[in-house]
Amino acid sequence: MTDPRILATTPETLERAAETLRGGGLVAFPTETVYGIGADATDGTAVARIYAAKNRPRFNPLISHLPDVGDALAIGAFSDMARRVAETFWPGPLSIVVRRATGCPIAMLTSAGLDTVALRVPGHPLARDLLARVGRPVAAPSANRSGRVSPTLAAHVAAEFDEALALILDGGACPVGLESTVVDLSGPRPVLLRPGAVTREDLEPLTGPLARPAADSPITAPGMLASHYAPDRPVRLDVTAPEPDEAYLAFGADGTGQAQANLSPTDDLVEAAANLFQMLRALDRPPFRAIAVAPVPRHGLGAAINDRLRRAAAPR
Ligand code: TXA
Ligand code: MG
């Protein structure tokens, strides 16, 4: 028996999927690499739902998908070389990390607080049709729960998620079957962050020699996150009584009075995740000497929030 959430792809189901995405919901869709679980990349709350559904123990930055090369070039700061790479390999199984362009609409949670964004124009016609209908960048990690293999069939996706995922567009088997190549072209030294179907040999004529991920780069091995956004100011955790020179980042109804910001006045961990990076950034400024953060529950998305807070608070 087929899962009722799996829908054959027609203009009607594509339109329904696009509406679901525009409304902040989650949709799984095929790309030429693997199935992705997508959300509106400009909506931090929608993106928080991806992390919750995947049960990811931490926030790693996600790839934002766009229907056309021009759409991607408009929201990233592409060097001439990065633009040539984009125009050569897109649409296709390649993700390019660039700095955010001024006014880049990608939510801070999508990039896990980083100043860079990973962008991809997939080659799969159904994915591009869906993305064009959504009219916004769609963040989509592989549609599997954390620690499990990436799905290449709609039935695999259905087996991974409960009703948090309402809609799975069936596009048959993914032809590549392996996640996209990720190349970081945001800095002076191009770095191959994740190997994939667009190979080193394909890229190097345009990029020159590609470095391996350094220990301090955003990922150290395929899919592995080492460094991440950290505020300039020291961060103190589990604080219930902030010092006068600290910015207080509260959580829940108790903290509203004295706080400069509140991750979620209603104890909602999805809202807190959506606010986390942008609030840390907003409080990382004079006259504050440090950022004091209230205790955040450790269940559900709270695990990933606490993981990020611990890293932000680690001595450096
Ligand atoms: O083929 C694919 O890429 C699939 C389909 C659905 O497009 N998506 C996918 O997403 O594999 P995910 O989230 O499983 O992998 C994203 C990779 C991770 O290794 C992540 O660390 C890296 O991209 N990444 C994303 N944004 C980054 C950034 N700003 N800097 C460095 N690495 C980044
Ligand atoms: Mg994955």
Position 222 scores a pLDDT of 39
Cα 179 to middle of ligand 2, angstroms: 7
For residues 200-214, give the mean pLDDT: 92
* Top mutation candidate among 182, 198, 212, 220 for ligand 1, by most atoms within 8 Å of CB: 182
pLDDT in tens, 55-108: 887 899 999 999 999 999 999 999 999 999 999 999 999 999 999 999 999 999
pLDDT interval class at 247 (50, 70, 90) = very high
Dihedral class, residue 259 (left if φ above 0, else alpha if ψ from -120 to 50, else beta): beta
Position 221 scores a pLDDT of 41
Encoding tokens for residue 19?
Answer: 């509406």
Position 147 scores a pLDDT of 82
pLDDT interval class at 215 (50, 70, 90) = low
Cα 146 to middle of ligand 2, angstroms: 8
Query: pLDDT at residue 226 above 60?
Result: no
| Residue 196 or 18, more confident | 18
Q: Residue 194: how many CB atoms within 10 A of its CB?
A: 19
Position 58 scores a pLDDT of 87
Position 228 scores a pLDDT of 65
Query: pLDDT at residue 298 above 60?
Result: yes
For residues 164-177, give the mean pLDDT: 93
pLDDT interval class at 225 (50, 70, 90) = very low
| Residue 132 or 223, more confident | 132
Alpha-carbon distances of 304 from 30, 48, 52, 207, 315, rounded to whole Å: 27, 10, 9, 35, 19
Q: Tokens 């996600």 identify what position?
A: 62
Cα 252 to middle of ligand 1, angstroms: 32
The pocket around ligand 1, CB under 6 angstroms, is made up of 31, 33-34, 36, 60-63, 95, 97, 111, 114, 116-118, 120, 140-142, 179-180, 182, 184, 193-194, 218-219, 223, 225
Counting ligands in written order, the one closest to the CA of 147 is 2
What's the pTM?
A: 0.89
The burial class, CB within 10 Å (0-12 / 13-18 / 19+), for 302 is: middle
Rg (CA), the chain: 20
Q: What percent of the chain has pLDDT over 70?
A: 94
Position 67 scores a pLDDT of 98
pLDDT in tens, 140-170: 999 998 888 889 999 999 999 988 898 999 9
Alpha-carbon distances of 103 from 82, 187, 245, rounded to whole Å: 19, 19, 31
pLDDT in tens, 115-125: 999 999 999 99
